[in-house]
């Protein structure tokens, strides 16, 4: 590939969510002048939330975008270089590590991976066709557009239940389409959903087809997996809430991943199977997935990287 531009740093951090920014704050304060490559969604998943009410230090809650902007400012205050770049390829076979973003090359002595996770989709053709035109994976981002309309939420976990409740703030009717006859989400969330009169549960059902025209989605056909019957729900929006996938495709050939494709780190540390490569935040965590735990492991990664660099 024709490289136009190359830059070397002692530490490069991939990702700009709570893990990435916290790693940057700690690495910068350790005089490592780190660089963050933000990824395509600067600020990460919290920028698609509204109010964050469980991040300590903000007793009245804080807007997700505002929280990420404050983390960014804190990282900048200690000489972090932040580049809006999407990494397209990495070469971790020798040091310095090589990180490519299109025709730009970055090299680093230590690498901290904080690339997070992304919402999963069903993967059916009609869903892809109407993505952004009726199909969404973020009720808090897009719910407002469906004011007074009917929508469906797909999934039976806490995310689906929470999104369904939230959507009743705008929508006339909310269907929750779940493939089984029992929710996975917590009892408290289930109760809230089951007693909400605007919500109807469509049990034992999967999406047969997202229907629409040039203007976008116009209806949704679901299929009962037990009876085989199909039904049109009359919804103009579909919110998919079936979990997340870690953003690890760049590392699939080099780093050890677990069966769900999360990066495996050494117990009690952020070390990966490659010396000098550390991982933190949701890309390593299928269990807690919280902003505060991501920030915590981001701090660990910076300390691990600093100690490792000192030993070299």
Active site residues: 138, 141-142
Q: Which residue is nearest to ligand NDP (CB)?
A: 157
**Least distance to ligand NDP, CB of residue 129, Å:** 17
Of 12-20, 69-77, 157-165, 226-234, which segment contacts ligand NDP by CB under 6 A? 157-165
Of 16-24, 92-100, 107-115, 177-185, which segment contacts ligand NDP by CB under 6 A? 177-185
For ligand NDP, the binding residue among 29, 104, 179, 231 (CB under 6 A) is 179
Q: Considering only residues 184-213, where is the footprint of ligand NDP by CB under 6 A?
A: 184
Report angle CA 61, 242, 263 to the nearest 5 degrees: 80
What's the rounded Cα separation, in Å, for the pair 164 and 93? 46
Residue 242 interacting with ligand NDP (CB under 6 A): yes
Q: For residue 57, with 0-12 CB atoms within 10 Å meaning exposed, 13-18 middle and 19 or more buried, which class applies?
A: exposed
**Least distance to ligand NDP, CB of residue 295, Å:** 17
> What SS3 class is residue 124?
coil
**Of 36, 45, 35, 12, residue with least CA distance to 294:** 45
**Least distance to ligand NDP, CB of residue 153, Å:** 10
Of 24-32, 63-71, 152-160, 195-203, which segment contacts ligand NDP by CB under 6 A? 152-160
Pairing of strands 173-177, 199-202: parallel
User: Terminal CA-to-CA distance of the chain, rounded, Å?
Assistant: 31
Peptide bond into 132 cis (omega under 30): no
Q: Which is nearer to ligand NDP, 78 or 121 (CB)?
A: 121
Of 63-71, 106-114, 241-249, 255-263, which segment contacts ligand NDP by CB under 6 A? 241-249
Query: DSSP letter string over 31-92?
Result: T---EEE--SSTTGGGGG-SEE--STT-TT-EEHHHHHHHHHHHHHHTT-EEE-----EEE-
Q: For residue 51, with 0-12 CB atoms within 10 Å meaning exposed, 13-18 middle and 19 or more buried, which class applies?
A: middle
DSSP 164: H
For ligand NDP, the binding residue among 289, 293, 303, 309 (CB under 6 A) is 289
Residue 261 interacting with ligand NDP (CB under 6 A): no
**Least distance to ligand NDP, CB of residue 233, Å:** 15
Q: Which is nearer to ligand NDP, 147 or 180 (CB)?
A: 180
For ligand NDP, the binding residue among 32, 82, 160, 193 (CB under 6 A) is 160
Query: For the chain, what's the residue count?
Result: 312
Q: Which is nearer to ligand NDP, 138 or 309 (CB)?
A: 138
Residue 155 interacting with ligand NDP (CB under 6 A): yes
Per-residue burial over 204-218, b = 16 or more CB atoms within 10 Å of its CB, e = otherwise: bbebbbbbbeeeebe
Q: Which is nearer to ligand NDP, 248 or 272 (CB)?
A: 248
Pull the structure tokens for residue 22.
Answer: 């916290």
Cα 302 off chain centre by: 21
**Least distance to ligand NDP, CB of residue 278, Å:** 24
**Of 53, 50, 27, residue with least CA distance to 110:** 27
For ligand NDP, the binding residue among 122, 201, 292, 309 (CB under 6 A) is 122
Q: Which is nearer to ligand NDP, 216 or 243 (CB)?
A: 243
Whose structure tokens read 């969404």? 136
Q: Which is nearer to ligand NDP, 106 or 183 (CB)?
A: 183
Residues lying near ligand NDP in the complex (CB under 6 A) are found at 122, 154-160, 162, 179-180, 184, 241-243, 289
């Amino acid at each position: 590939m024709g490289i136009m531009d190359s830059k070397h740093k002692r530490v490069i951090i991939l990702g700009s969510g709570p893990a990435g920014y916290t790693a940057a704050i700690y690495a910068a304060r350790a005089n490592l002048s780190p660089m963050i490559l933000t990824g395509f969604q600067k600020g990460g998943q919290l920028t698609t939330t509204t109010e964050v009410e469980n991040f300590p230090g903000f007793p009245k809650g804080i807007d997700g975008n505002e929280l990420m902007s404050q983390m960014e400012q804190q990282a900048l205050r200690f000489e972090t270089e932040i580049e809006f770049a999407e990494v397209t390829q990495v070469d971790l076979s020798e040091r310095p590590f090589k990180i490519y973003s299109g025709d730009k090359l970055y090299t680093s002595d230590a690498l901290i991976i904080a690339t997070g996770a992304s919402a999963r989709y069903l993967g059916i053709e009609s869903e892809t066709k109407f993505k952004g035109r009726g199909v969404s994976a973020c009720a808090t981002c897009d719910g407002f557009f469906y004011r007074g309309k009917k929508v469906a939420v797909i999934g039976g976990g806490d995310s689906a239940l929470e999104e369904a409740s939230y959507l009743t703030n705008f929508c006339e009717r909310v269907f929750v389409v779940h493939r089984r006859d029992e929710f996975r989400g917590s009892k408290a969330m289930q109760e809230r959903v089951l007693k909400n009169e605007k919500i109807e549960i469509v049990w034992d059902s999967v999406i047969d087809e997202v229907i629409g025209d040039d203007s976008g989605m116009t209806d949704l056909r679901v299929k009962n997996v037990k009876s085989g019957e199909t039904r049109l729900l009359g919804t103009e929006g579909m919110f998919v809430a079936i979990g997340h996938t870690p953003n690890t495709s760049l590392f699939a050939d080099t780093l050890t991943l677990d069966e769900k494709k999360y990066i495996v780190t050494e117990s009690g540390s952020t070390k990966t199977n490659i010396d000098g490569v550390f991982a933190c935040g949701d890309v390593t965590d299928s269990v807690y997935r919280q902003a505060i735990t991501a920030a915590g492991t981001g701090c660990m990664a910076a300390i691990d990287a600093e100690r490792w660099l000192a030993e070299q």
